[in-house]
Amino acid sequence: MRLIAFEQEGRAVLGALVGEEVVALADAVPGLPADPLAAFAALDLPEGAAALAAKLEGAPRRPLAGLTLLPPIPRPGKFLCIGLNYVEHAKEGGNAIPDYPAVFMRGPTSLAGHGQPLIRPKVSDKFDYEAELVIVIGRRARHLTEANALSCVAGYTCMNEGSVRDYQRKGAQWTMGKNFEQTGGVGPAIVTPDEIPQGPNALRITSRVNGQTMQDSNTADMIFPVPRILAILSEVMTLEPGDMIATGTPSGVGYPRKPPVFMKPGDTVEIEIEGIGLLSNPIAAEE
């Protein structure tokens, strides 16, 4: 199953993809909350996926083409990010291989949906691309083990975790460089685990800038695989439905290249993850 969020009459609506058509979940599930985050929590994924699929039969549909897509969870309760999670990416930046993950957070206003422009801010031209697999939480969880961690996962999606590199390095924390308005693309859809039977740590992950491949790796190369990430985070906090976790980017990003390659207005950047989909965003200048 693939879930999206789209804009309808100025509000966010949660939907399910059925081929090239979309079912608004409120039309298929009576009493579902209107708010996408509350609606997502009420679905109780992954356990409720089969029941939801049955309810989609016969529900009204609309074409996917022409819809304005939003981040699949437009305003997640928590958007956590893991830094330096691929060996070669750590090396290309001159960093030691970590024995504990770097963790930071992004706010909802820093996110954009599939097809929406990512905004290069006025104050910097060092806007870097980062292909990332994102975990989407479906059930409340605390103190997970690596053995049971995947039981709380509703699905996965793609991200271009755009980083404003000079602001990222202005202080010891990365928050400022990761939270400029509309700099992180997410989507297009949340893909439930049944669609990727090989699991989250066996997926090819690539990025392309104007059609040129810049990153080409596999999630098998993560230093901290998905179950380990979930176990570590849940030691500290309760993971809740709709929380999203970006799992880090492989090597090939722009800043260590000679000369550096940064996203600029007029570019189109694509992130593709095997079994998950293709996220595409144009780059625009801040007005």
Q: What is the pLDDT of residue 250?
A: 96
- Name the average pLDDT for the chain: 96
Alpha helix ranges (H) inside the chain: 25-28, 36-43, 49-56, 87-92, 165-168, 226-236
pLDDT for res 206: 98
pLDDT computed for residue 48 by the predictor:
83
Task: Specify the pLDDT at position 124.
Answer: 98
Whole-angstrom distance, CA of residue 249 vs CA of residue 206: 10
- The pLDDT value recorded for residue 133 is 98
Query: How many C-beta atoms surround the C-beta of residue 236 within 10 A?
Result: 10
- Amino acid code (one letter) for 247: T
Instruction: Write out residues in the chain with pLDDT < 50, as ranges.
Output: none
Task: Give me the half-sphere count of Cα atoms (radius 13 Å) on the Cβ side of residue 275.
Answer: 20
pTM over 0.85: yes
Tell me what pLDDT residue 96 has.
85
Q: Are 283 and 266 in contact (CB under 8 A)?
A: yes
Q: What is the pLDDT of residue 229?
A: 98
Q: Residue 95 and residue 41: Cα distance in Å, rounded?
A: 38
Tell me what pLDDT residue 13 has. 96
